Structure 1
Amino acid sequence: MTKKRLYLILTLGLIAGYSWLAYNLWQQHAVNSKPVCFFKRTTGIPCPSCGNTRSVLAITSGDFYDAVLINPLGYVIAAILIIFPFWLLYDVTLRKETLYRSYLQFEKALGKKTVAILLIVLILLNWIWNIQKGL
């Protein structure tokens, strides 16, 4: 993937993420309803990322323990939403490639069997936990 394409995808993803977060913060105050993902509505079981929105919302309100219980992946999403806009701005403003180089290193690491298997196992464990707790 080219640097330009990566930065465009990240920018659009961050805009979508912040828009979704703002919408859910507004919904949380307007109506006390919990969003249900398409996968859960279709199959009746939660997906591996079910609860991420509620986890990030818990983080924004300072309920850090609840955020972990809802879905620990929410912390990954929150970190991305906090760090990546500044990182993108840094690279674009100063014409650097630090984020792009880090992406290439991450992509290379994912190509290693042990790293890929570890991440898959962690996602599967999170999914089992989501199903177990009836998310």
Structure 2
Amino acid sequence: MTRNKLYTLLTVLSLSGYAWLVFQLYAEQQNSGIGQVCIFKSVTNLPCPSCGSTRSILEIVQGNLLAALYINPLGFLFVSVLLILPLWIIADLLQKSDSLLKFYHHTEKWISKKPVALVLIVLVLLNWGWNIYKDL
């Protein structure tokens, strides 16, 4: 993937994530939740591994870290990405650098190693089991 394509994609995804969170915060303040948005859960009646991530992020924003961890630990990963990515992209653009692209390629190689991929798959499956157990 080229630098411009990656940075454009990550910028669009970050902006979409922030827009979704603002929308959810507004809906929460108005007590007008939009209901079920997970297609997987709508079809199977089972939560997906990332079900509850938005609620987890909202709890983090409100300072309720234990509640966020209980709802979905992936919320912490998503918050970290939403905070770091835009700053990293801006820094790379200002410095005319491609450190994020290099990190992306390095991470892609690292994740493609079977032992690493296996551990990550097991962690996602454990989180999925946790979501099913909690009946999210």
Question: Normalising to structure 1: TM-score of the pair?
Answer: 0.97
Which string of whole-angstrom CA distances, capped at 9 and with x for unpartnered residues, describes residues 15-41 of structure 1?
Answer: 100000000000000125374212111
2:63 paired with 1:72:
no
Task: Give the unaligned 5+ runs of structure 1.
Answer: none
Aligned to 1:15: 15
Kindly indicate whether residue 51 of structure 2 is the aligned counterpart of residue 50 of structure 1.
yes
TM-score, normalising length from structure 2?
Answer: 0.96
Query: After superposition, what is the alpha-carbon deviation per residue over 1:96-135, rounded to whole angstroms, capped at 9, x for unaligned?
Result: 1111110011000011000111100000000000000111
CA distance in 2, matches of 1:9, 1:120: 24
What is the Cα-based RMSD across aligned positions, in Å?
A: 1.0
Runs of at least 5 residues in structure 2 that lack an aligned partner in the other structure = none
2:16 maps to a residue whose letter is A
Q: Give the fraction of aligned pairs with identical amino acids, expressed as a percent.
A: 44
Deviation at residue 76 of structure 1 after TM alignment: 0.3
| 1:84 alignment counterpart | 85
Do the aligned partners of 2:24 and 2:33 also contact (CA within 8 Å) in 1? Answer: no
- Distance in 1 between the 2:27 and 2:33 partners? 7
- The count of residues paired between Structure 1 and Structure 2 equals 135
